[in-house]
């Protein structure tokens, strides 16, 4: 994963993005997913006006993208190191994520001996916002499960 697809860059790779561009990357085009996306935007921007986290800026997003590009340079030696992890790992993703394709989640989990994968349906990069209750229950079950 060395960078993002052109459609992702077109949508969120600019200093100013619109709610529709955000929705196009973080949610699928289905009515249910878009509704979940709109509810997410309402929680992010409309739920409270005081004591909010500081919004990210363009420099922050550029630094994140640079980190993704650097991290995504193929390095098989580093990937092999994942097999040394001895703790359980929960790998989660949306089935239509254009930023981190689901097959990368399966690849990652295949390299970690005790990994468990959950791919959430009809969702993209915002799967944990769209499926927040199910995701929270899955994380709770994972953390409370056998070691």
Rounded Cα gap, residues 85 and 143, in angstroms: 16
Reported as a single tens digit per residue, the pLDDT across 129-142 is: 999 999 999 999 99
pLDDT at 39 over 70: yes
- b/e for 16-43, b at 16 or more Cβ within 10 A? eeeeebbbbbbbbeeeebbebbeebbee
Reported as a single tens digit per residue, the pLDDT across 47-83 is: 777 887 887 888 988 898 888 888 888 888 988 999 9
Whole-number pLDDT of residue 89: 97
3-class secondary-structure state, position 89 = strand
pTM (2 d.p.):
0.85
Q: How confident is the model at residue 19 (pLDDT cuts 50, 70, 90)?
A: confident
Rounded Cα gap, residues 49 and 55, in angstroms: 12
**Percent residues over pLDDT 90 in the chain:** 56
């Amino acid at each position: 994963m060395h960078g993002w697809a052109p459609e992702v860059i077109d949508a969120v790779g600019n200093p100013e993005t619109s709610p529709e561009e955000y929705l196009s990357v973080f949610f699928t085009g289905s009515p249910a997913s878009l509704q979940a996306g709109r509810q997410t935007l309402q929680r992010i921007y409309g739920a409270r006006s005081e004591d909010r986290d500081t919004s990210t800026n363009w420099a922050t997003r550029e630094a994140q993208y640079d980190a993704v590009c650097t991290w995504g340079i193929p390095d098989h030696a580093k990937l092999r190191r994942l097999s040394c992890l001895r703790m359980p790992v929960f790998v989660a993703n949306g089935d239509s994520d254009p930023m981190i394709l689901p097959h990368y989640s399966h690849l990652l989990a295949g390299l970690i001996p005790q990994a468990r994968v959950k791919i959430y349906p009809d969702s993209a990069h915002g799967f944990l916002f769209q499926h927040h209750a199910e995701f929270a229950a899955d994380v709770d079950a994972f953390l409370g499960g056998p070691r």
